[in-house]
Amino acid sequence: MNAIEIENLQKSFGTRRAVDGISLAVRQGEIFSLLGPNGAGKTTTLAMLSTLLRPDGGDARILGHSIKHESAAVKASLGVVPQDIALYMDLTARENLDFWGRMYGLRGGALRQRVDEVLEMIGLTERQKDPVGKYSGGMKRRVNIGAALLHKPKVIYMDEPTVGIDPQSRRSILDSVVALKEQGMTVLYTTHYMEEAQELSDHLAIMDSGRLIASGTQQELIQLVGGLDRIRLAINGDVERVLATWRTITGVKQATVEEGLLMLLVEDSNQALPRLFESAAAAGVRITSVEIQEPNLEAVFLHLTGRALRDG
């Protein structure tokens, strides 16, 4: 069963189409990543799915509730982790969680118990009485996530939750996302970090300029670029002569020279590399460096848009 179903969702700001008719489905209990550069329309999509923005066209259903017509039911079933830290810096972590819990309708003993559990979950029980403003960036991010978990939502949106934090906190957040999935939550995760999308996602979609340009599992998306490995080599010798020889080696699909380096597209780098070294030795050429790049989402994005993901 699908937790989120989006149909032809559209939103424009003036003449700019921020979200241009996207459709997708997110299964219950999975981590689904929306991957795309800054300005791709990810946050606007989440704002519509959170009922913060009203779509110009299309609709979406969260656990069967329409974002256009049943916003109260949608909000009750959702936990939203905003991109920027949205907490009261002069209140303590406990006071913040207590307040957000109340906004989700929790009261009394149930609220106190849940705040205790969430503080434990985000590892801030010891520092619960410190004002959030005195926390490190990573700790603030953890409280930011904790505030969305108080009411045990079935669906949680996380909008670039690892932006601007240290590697240790990032690791902790990524682990917590996996833990949420293990607890049965459906996670819709937006990021422009390809590595995060690759590590976390059961399914993912790539957005660019408000449009959904591809979606599926990681393997399905990588098939779009043919599943070829990229090998980049530097050699000490006649590049053109070597190039002509290597084009004839079995498994090498493409060989070009880029900025003085040999760029090869091969079916399997494990099988191709020994042959390349043998051929180089026979020709009296020395290979001075090798870099192997397995096909990844960066290559998919490059293939589909002609731009690198980080170019924006």
Q: Please identify, using beta-carbon distances, which residue of 82 and 251 lies nearer to another protein.
A: 82
CB of 102 to another protein, least distance (A): 4
Q: How far is residue 151's CA from residue 181's CA, in Å, rounded to a whole number?
A: 16
Q: Please identify, using beta-carbon distances, which residue of 68 and 275 lies nearer to another protein.
A: 68
Q: Please identify, using beta-carbon distances, which residue of 103 and 178 lies nearer to another protein.
A: 103
Q: How far is residue 93's CA from residue 50's CA, in Å, rounded to a whole number?
A: 24
Q: Please identify, using beta-carbon distances, which residue of 72 and 282 lies nearer to another protein.
A: 72
Q: Mention every residue, 6+ apart, whose C-beta is less than 8 A from residue 235.
A: 242, 262, 280, 285, 286, 287, 288
Please calculate the CA angle 201-188-225 and round it to the nearest 5 degrees.
40
CB of 20 to another protein, least distance (A): 21
Helix (H/G/I), strand (E/B), else coil: 112? helix
Q: In sequence order, what are the beta bridge partners of 20? A: 10
Q: Please identify, using beta-carbon distances, which residue of 135 and 246 lies nearer to another protein.
A: 135
CB of 80 to another protein, least distance (A): 4
The binding site for another protein (CB under 8 A) comprises: 50-54, 72, 75-76, 78, 80, 82, 84-88, 90-91, 95, 99-100, 102-105, 107, 147
The 3-state secondary structure of 235-255 reads: EECCHHHHHHHHCCCCCEEEE
CB of 120 to another protein, least distance (A): 22
CB of 74 to another protein, least distance (A): 9
| Long-range contacts, stretch 111-114, CB < 8 angstroms, 24+ apart | 111/150, 114/150, 114/151, 114/152
